[in-house]
Amino acid sequence: MYMIFIWLIYAFWCVLIAYLIISVIGVKQDTQGHSLQSVGLLLAIIAAFLLPYLPIFHFLNFAPVNPVVSSIGVILCAAGMAFFVWARQRLGRNWSQTVSTKKGHEPVTSGPYRYVRHPMYTGGFIACIGSAIVGGGAWIFLLVILGAIFLWRVGAEDKLMAQQFPNEYPDYEKRTKALIPFVW
């Protein structure tokens, strides 16, 4: 039975990846290339799925504890992905896989961006936590590795947006938390 939960997690991630691949169609063009960031992200994801096979990390390879805990993990994963997709939809043509500006870039401060400046990362964190609860192993490494990348990107994006929108962004940054509403 526990395999159902694991397959749900993998299915959710496959659907999210397919959505992101399709949704890149029609986005505004980046002002400059950022292939190093894309390669780095891909290598980080590959590392997350290879590290659990090292003998030192075998203790992280576990099956779900019980159906209740696994259900909570699946719900967290789905909720995080829903928040992620809502944020991606709200960005529209301004979305980029990398930290970059777009031609004709516009600041977005509505929808989930009313609550946090980086809701896609918030949703990604929640989805990774849910996945790690269900599957352990690679999902724990994905949480840690993507978490570090997300934290770096929060700072890089805030800096970039402050440069791009020096009149609007500082006020938005003061009134809106980065990842956790009312906290940080």
41 and 150 Cβ atoms separated by less than 8 Å: no
Q: How many CA atoms lie within 13 A of 51 on its CB side?
A: 19
Q: Could you state, in chain order, the average pLDDT of each consecutive group of 10 residues for the chain (184 residues)?
A: 87 93 84 70 82 81 80 97 97 84 86 97 96 89 89 92 94 95 88
* Residue pair 26/93 in contact by the 8 Å Cβ criterion: yes
Residues 6+ apart with CB under 8 A from 104: 28
Output the pLDDT for position 78. Answer: 98
Hey, what are 119's tokens?
Answer: 């809701």
pTM of the model: 0.89
Which residue is it, tokens 């938005």? 172
What's residue 96's pLDDT?
80
